[in-house]
Amino acid sequence: MSRSKENKPIAVTILGEEYMVACAPDEEEELQASAQYLHQKMREIRTSGRIISNEHVAVMAALNITHEMLQAQAEKESVADDITPRLRSVREKVEAALNESNQLEL
């Protein structure tokens, strides 16, 4: 969360533990959503039965969430790499059409 003089402590609960987190008023909803997402991921890992300690559950959740984030970034970059040449092609066609139109008017 961002650091500013307007930050206020917000309580979030993750796996039954309450944490106070400084948060700007306009980011409180995002903080709560993030805490809920983390709680859900940690609960899934804990109920799998393979990991017992909260510390290990937190690390595994962090790794899983980081993996999801990196996959999303790679997909975003792939889409951007795919779209950029298409946009360039469309721009060139539009410019050619405009140039042709301008020449016809002369």
CATH class in words for 8-105: alpha beta
Q: Give the domain ranges of the chain.
A: 8-105
Distances (CA, A) of 76 to 63, 71, 72, 79, 96: 20, 9, 6, 5, 30
The one-digit pLDDT tens for each residue of the chain (106 residues) are: 545 568 999 999 999 999 999 999 999 999 999 999 999 999 999 999 877 788 999 999 999 999 999 999 988 888 777 787 888 888 888 888 888 777 776 6
**Whole-angstrom distance, CA of residue 38 vs CA of residue 32:** 10
